[in-house]
């Protein structure tokens, strides 16, 4: 299960005051600076096969290579360092040429190549997905035939794209639900994927983004699992967009996660902040995602900043657009979320904006 499928099923300051003295002793990078961290990166998709991406799916299918590169330039100018590609195939169709699946019909013959060229040019690092060969079910984790197809796709992706400077790492999209622990099958799955990634691309980093964050614990069992889990970055979903937490609860949960990760410093602790709301009934695949009000997003950033190493969002694409961009894709209100965020960056002194060239 992962958040991308889970979506269909289903005052930070006050929170800090509620925590005990031990929880308020934090080691995240924002704590020392006394500020709120800016967004460092986002997920990005080429296509997704349900209505949650309805406001940008068609536009992205029509993107040229130049527009995909413009999309990367737009986030680079906003100070983003990372983009996480959600999938390399979906709905039984691949986004690149492979003998395993038919290719999705798109205006750009190779959007992955275009994205990575944009990353090379504008200094954005990509985590590339390892999936989706087939729809998610329990077999996706350890079924031998599914694993063989996944590893073949990874080998193809590495052969085609790892020459790019922007090929920074891999993203394992078969994400875990904390209950409050990782399942043994998820740990084995991640460890097998990471071993294959090291074989193909020894210098690449690895990332996954669990949900169930509202159930996070920091006990010895969870710490032992972090030690066993062979992944460089864990970007926990803040679940505010999914309505499982508010910002205050998010602060409590990330404080607990910080305590656990401080005991296993080789596992970087990042946040996956949900910047979406719902046009229709929440948590349904038939309900399009729309931009959340910036006031809510700001509270989410404030909540996680004292505890995490970096903040990613789900997501910029479709929910934030630079006014006048040649790569517009998404809800009409997405320009407002963009301009509200830029105004906040300038007010807060956290700005990492780059001059457009």
The C-alpha torsion from 48 through 49 and 52 to 53, rounded to 10°, is 40
Give 11's contacts (C-beta < 8 A, 6+ positions apart): 247, 248, 299
pLDDT in tens, 48-63: 998 999 999 999 999 9
Mapped onto helix, strand or coil, the DSSP state of residue 202 is coil
The band of 84, judged by pLDDT with boundaries at 50, 70 and 90, is: very high
Mapped onto helix, strand or coil, the DSSP state of residue 10 is coil
Between these two residues, 134 and 47, which has the higher pLDDT value? 47
Rounded mean pLDDT, 336-354? 84
CA R_g for the chain: 19
Instruction: Report how far residue 63's alpha carbon sits from residue 105's, in angstroms, rounded to the nearest whole number.
Output: 12
Rounded mean pLDDT, 8-34? 36
Q: Over the chain, what is the mean pLDDT?
A: 89
Q: The whole model's pTM is what? A: 0.89
Query: Phi and psi of 7, rounded to 5°?
Result: -55, -30
pLDDT at 132: 83
Q: How far apart are the first and last CA of the chain?
A: 41
Pairing of strands 276-278, 268-274: unpaired
| Tokens at 355, concatenated | 């001059």
Question: Is residue 79 a contact partner of residue 38, using CB atoms and an 8 Å limit?
Answer: yes
Chain centroid to Cα 131, Å, comes to: 14
Question: Is residue 248 a contact partner of residue 12, using CB atoms and an 8 Å limit?
Answer: yes
Q: What residue ranges define each of the domains in the chain, with the CATH number in brackets?
A: 3-348 (3.20.20.80)
Query: Phi and psi of 80, rounded to 5°?
Result: -70, 140
Mapped onto helix, strand or coil, the DSSP state of residue 42 is strand
């Amino acid at each position: 299960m992962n958040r991308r499928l889970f979506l269909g099923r289903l005052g930070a300051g006050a929170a800090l005051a509620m925590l005990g003295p031990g929880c308020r002793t934090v080691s995240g990078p924002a704590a020392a600076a006394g500020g709120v961290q800016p967004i460092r990166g986002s997920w990005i998709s080429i296509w997704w096969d349900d209505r949650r991406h309805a406001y940008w799916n068609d536009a992205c299918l029509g993107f040229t290579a130049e527009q995909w590169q413009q999309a990367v330039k737009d986030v680079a100018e906003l100070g983003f360092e990372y983009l996480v590609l959600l999938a390399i195939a979906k709905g039984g169709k691949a986004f690149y040429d492979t003998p395993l699946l038919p290719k999705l019909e798109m205006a750009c013959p190779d959007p992955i190549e275009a994205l990575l060229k944009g990353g090379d040019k504008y200094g954005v690092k990509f985590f590339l997905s390892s999936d989706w060969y087939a729809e998610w079910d329990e077999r996706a984790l350890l079924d031998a035939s599914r694993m063989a197809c996944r590893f073949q796709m990874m080998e193809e992706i590495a052969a085609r794209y790892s020459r790019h400077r922007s090929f920074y790492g891999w993203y394992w999209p078969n994400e875990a639900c904390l209950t409050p622990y990782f399942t043994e099958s998820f740990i084995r799955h991640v460890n097998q994927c990471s071993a294959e990634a090291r074989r193909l691309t020894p210098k690449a980093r690895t990332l996954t983004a669990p949900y169930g964050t509202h159930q996070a614990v920091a006990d010895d069992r969870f710490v032992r699992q972090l030690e066993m889990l062979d992944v460089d970055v864990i970007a926990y979903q803040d679940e505010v967009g999914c309505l499982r937490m508010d910002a205050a609860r998010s602060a409590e949960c990330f404080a607990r996660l910080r305590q656990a990760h401080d005991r296993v410093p080789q596992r970087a602790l990042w946040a996956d902040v949900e910047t979406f709301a719902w046009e229709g009934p929440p948590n349904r695949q038939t309900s399009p995602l729309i931009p959340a009000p910036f006031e809510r997003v700001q509270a989410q950033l404030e909540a996680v900043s004292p505890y995490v190493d970096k903040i990613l969002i789900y997501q910029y694409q479709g929910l934030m657009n630079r006014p006048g961009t040649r790569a517009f894709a998404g809800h009409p209100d997405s320009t407002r979320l963009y301009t509200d965020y830029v105004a906040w960056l300038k007010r807060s002194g956290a700005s990492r904006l780059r001059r457009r060239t």
